[in-house]
Amino acid sequence: MLKIVLWILVLYLLYRIVRPFIRVRKSKDKKNDAEDLQQCSHCGKYAPVSGGVKRKFAGKEYYFCSEKCKKQSLD
Backbone angles phi, psi at 28, to 5 degrees: -70, -35
Residues contacting residue 63 through CB under 8 Å, at least 6 positions apart: 38, 39, 40, 41, 47, 49, 52, 53, 54
More confident of the two residues 56 and 4: 4
pTM assigned to the model: 0.51
**pLDDT tens track for 15-32:** 999 888 876 555 555 555
User: Per DSSP, what are the bridge partners of residue 46?
Assistant: 39
Quick one: pLDDT at residue 24? 56
Residues contacting residue 61 through CB under 8 Å, at least 6 positions apart: 54, 55
Quick one: pLDDT at residue 33? 64
**Domain segments of the chain: what residues?**
1-34, 37-74
More confident of the two residues 8 and 26: 8
Quick one: pLDDT at residue 31? 54
Q: How far apart are the first and last CA of the chain?
A: 83
User: Per DSSP, what are the bridge partners of residue 37?
Assistant: 48
